[in-house]
């Protein structure tokens, strides 16, 4: 009888430890997220299921072209791409991204840009000074984010710069649907 009681207690302890570890991993390290909308096409599709690494930005900083999840409002998280980091001046002129006055290639949007008809711009011209906040350069602990589908994205052009405090983490794995399974890199 005592042997069965000890075995039962061992199972309860194991389940409690497993549950506690799952909560810690979910809260502090990784979280699942589902894409809602077309703002990151063609990179991410509506309904894609991904894993967000929360730990990266606890020990490091966002880098240009990371795909990040951030708290846009108290109820809604957005997924966008980091375009500008602290100290940068960002502008787009004639569909060309300029960081600190130098043109920067954006290979992740080339296919989408080529689909545009005629003289229609893929990304409307803007400069950092014209965005909410009117900054000359991105201040410390802030990033400028844009969706890959520039014509259909609520991003820094409307929201302003995103503070590090708003960042949930970096998207690192697309796991569903299975035919699109891949690791996400900037």
Give me the active site residues, please.
Answer: 39, 80
Residue with tokens 């699109």: 180
**Residue 177: cis peptide before it, omega within 30 degrees of 0:** yes
Phi-psi region of 26 (alpha: psi -120 to 50; beta: other; left: phi over 0): alpha
How buried is residue 186: exposed, middle or buried, by Cβ count under 10 Å (0-12/13-18/19+)?
middle
Q: Is 130 left (phi over 0), alpha (psi -120 to 50) or beta?
A: alpha
Sign of the four-CA dihedral 174, 180, 185, 186? negative
State the Cα–Cα distance between residues 149 and 146, nearest whole angstrom: 8
In angstroms, what CA-CA distances link 182 with 50, 98, 102, 144, 175? 10, 29, 31, 25, 7
């Amino acid at each position: 009888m005592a042997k069965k009681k000890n075995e039962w207690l061992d199972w309860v302890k194991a389940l409690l430890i497993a549950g506690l570890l799952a909560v810690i991993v979910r809260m502090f390290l990784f979280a699942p997220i589902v894409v809602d909308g077309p703002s990151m096409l063609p990179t991410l599709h509506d309904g894609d299921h991904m894993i967000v690494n929360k730990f990266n930005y606890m020990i490091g900083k966002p880098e240009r072209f990371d795909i990040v999840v951030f708290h846009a409002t108290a109820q809604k998280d957005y997924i966008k791409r980091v375009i500008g980091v602290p100290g940068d001046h960002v502008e787009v002129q004639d569909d060309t991204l300029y960081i600190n006055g130098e043109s920067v290639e954006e290979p992740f949007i080339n296919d989408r840009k080529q689909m545009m008809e005629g003289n229609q711009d893929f990304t409307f011209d803007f400069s950092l000074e014209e965005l909410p906040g009117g900054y000359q350069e991105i201040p410390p602990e802030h990033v400028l984010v844009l969706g890959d589908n520039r014509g259909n994205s609520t991003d820094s052009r409307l929201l302003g710069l995103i503070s590090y405090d708003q960042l949930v983490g970096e998207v690192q794995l697309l796991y569903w649907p299975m035919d699109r399974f891949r690791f996400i890199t900037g």
